[in-house]
């Protein structure tokens, strides 16, 4: 592999940007990593903006390739299933895998970002520029203009890669030049973070589960943290009589949670303060095309295809983008004009597939997980997985515990459900025939 590469600019030092910088540096590229924020390792964390990650196999696969998986997993907490909290009654555990031995991993977004940033910055050829906000980009030349505390500065790179999140400045520049199409589909739901502190020095809830309070029009989840607290995320409509906008006083907040989340209230002493002061975040899906222009400017991760968080796949999908781009560079002998179009061709269908599955999983988590019929279906599915190992695999296992491309997952699950429907229909017809024959024999007798 040639070591005479020209510098690549990566805009965005979030999760995917730092991972991308590390992969490129290991290929021998000089990398300029630009970030609009100050160094996140030294500054305060934005209140209410730190949704935990559920790190699963796709993300771990990427981390293994740069030898960072063991360091990251040292602070991770495995969650082997969902703990469903009804309004009344005891919580019920639903394992993620048929054998109950597989887990997704709760990890702090900030801690993971810091680990990736430190890893990337330590590699030869990587330089990091904080407080650099992209305000102009010439896609034809790779010339960039940044606003900094010292004023505007310019820079140029042979290749510019936007890994700067759902509100990507790089994507905005390409859109302003008329070089891509964009659609933003926002839910009428937002999210707000709340906290359950440790109770008596230990976890207040089971730390080996992702806790869900499904309430139909609203939902709350809680993920464990290494300090034995839980980060809760409340999902609720942003407007209307039953929404974030409808609770304005401490008394109204306490009354609402006492009615709808009664087991949470005694565990969250700072609930009212968290609710009043933590912001409401937006939820939506970003789609755009193409993801690259002339093999010189490209997008990946949320900058190309942001999704809602209900499958826990946003970061995992972005990490998989980095792995796929690295694979494309291998296959194209580091010819960016061939690698970037190939990357877009291979990943776009998969990004659309997980976007659709994430939206569908929101409905499942919010409305269905507490249903006896849904729980029966999950037991049947897990029975089939044990009876037909490797041949029948649930959607959740394929998404979270494999690197099967997302588009293939959707196709395979459709085929499995069609087969299951046909078997169930045949069994019902056979049973009806047996019952009918017995009835006729009874009448003759």
Q: What is the pLDDT along the chain (445 residues), one digit of tens a residue?
A: 444 689 999 999 999 999 999 999 999 999 999 999 999 999 776 554 556 899 999 999 999 999 999 999 999 999 999 999 999 999 999 898 878 889 999 999 999 999 999 999 999 999 999 999 999 999 999 999 999 999 999 999 999 999 999 999 999 999 999 999 999 999 999 999 999 999 999 999 999 999 999 998 899 999 999 999 999 999 999 999 999 999 989 999 999 999 999 999 999 999 999 999 999 999 999 999 999 999 999 999 999 999 999 999 999 999 999 999 999 999 999 999 999 999 999 999 999 999 999 998 887 777 666 667 767 777 777 788 778 887 888 889 999 999 999 999 999 998 888 877 766 555 555 545 555 555 556 555 5
Return d(Cα 442, Cα 445) in angstroms, integer.
5
Return d(Cα 137, Cα 134) in angstroms, integer.
8
Q: Given CA atoms 163, 165, 169, 171 in this order, what sign does their dihedral have?
A: positive
Q: At what angle do helices 314-331 and 15-26 cross, to 10 degrees?
A: 20
CA angle 400, 403, 409 (to 5 degrees): 75
The answer to whether 160 touches 170, Cβ cutoff 8 Å, is yes
Return d(Cα 445, Cα 427) in angstroms, integer.
27
Return d(Cα 48, Cα 379) in angstroms, integer.
36
Pairing of strands 81-84, 92-95: antiparallel
Q: Where are the alpha helices (DSSP H) in 189-313?
A: 250-260, 271-277, 302-305
Q: Which of 223, 203, 204 is nearest to 213 (CA)?
A: 223
Q: What are phi and psi of 100, to 5 degrees?
A: 75, 10
Helix, strand, or coil (residue 231): strand
């Amino acid at each position: 592999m040639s070591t005479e590469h020209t510098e690549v600019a990566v805009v965005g030092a979030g999760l995917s940007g730092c991972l991308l910088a590390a992969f490129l540096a290991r290929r021998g590229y000089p990398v300029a990593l630009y970030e609009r924020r100050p160094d996140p390792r030294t500054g305060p964390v934005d209140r209410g903006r730190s949704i935990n990650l559920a790190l699963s196999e796709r993300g771990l696969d990427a981390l293994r390739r740069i030898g960072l998986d063991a360091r990251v997993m040292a602070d991770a907490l495995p969650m082997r299933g969902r703990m469903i909290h009804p309004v009344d009654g005891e919580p019920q555990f639903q394992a993620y895998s048929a054998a109950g031995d597989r887990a997704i991993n709760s990890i702090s977004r900030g801690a993971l970002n810091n680990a990736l940033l430190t890893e990337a910055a330590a590699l030869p050829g990587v330089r990091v520029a904080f407080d650099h906000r992209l305000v102009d980009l010439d896609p034809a030349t790779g010339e960039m203009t940044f606003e900094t505390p010292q004023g505007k500065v310019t820079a140029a790179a042979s290749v510019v890669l936007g890994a700067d999140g759902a509100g990507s400045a790089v994507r905005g520049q390409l859109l302003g030049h008329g070089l891509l199409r964009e659609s933003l589909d926002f839910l009428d739901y937002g999210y707000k973070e709340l906290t359950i502190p440790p109770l008596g020095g230990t976890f207040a809830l089971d730390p080996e589960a992702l806790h869900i309070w499904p309430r139909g029009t609203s939902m709350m989840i809680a993920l464990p943290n290494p300090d034995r607290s839980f980060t809760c995320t409340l999902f609720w409509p942003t407007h209307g009589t039953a929404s974030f906008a409808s609770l304005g006083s401490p008394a109204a907040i306490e009354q609402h949670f006492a009615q709808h989340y009664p087991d949470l209230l005694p565990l969250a002493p700072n609930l009212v303060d968290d609710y009043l002061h933590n912001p409401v975040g937006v939820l939506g899906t970003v789609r755009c095309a193409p993801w690259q222009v002339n093999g010189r400017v490209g997008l990946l991760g949320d900058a190309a295809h942001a999704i809602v968080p209900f499958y826990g796949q946003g970061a995992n999908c972005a990490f998989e983008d980095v792995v796929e781009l690295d694979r494309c560079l291998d296959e194209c002998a580091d010819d960016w004009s061939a690698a970037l179009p190939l990357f877009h061709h291979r990943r776009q269908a998969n990004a659309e597939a997980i976007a659709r599955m994430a939206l569908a999983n929101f409905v499942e988590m919010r409305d269905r997980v507490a249903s006896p019929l849904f729980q029966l279906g999950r037991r049947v599915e897990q029975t089939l997985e044990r009876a037909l190992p490797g041949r029948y695999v649930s959607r959740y296992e394929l998404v979270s515990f494999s690197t099967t491309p997302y588009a293939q997952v959707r196709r395979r699950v459709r085929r499995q459900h069609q087969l299951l429907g046909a078997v169930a229909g045949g069994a019902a017809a056979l049973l009806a025939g047996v019952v009918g024959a017995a009835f006729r024999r009874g009448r003759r007798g």
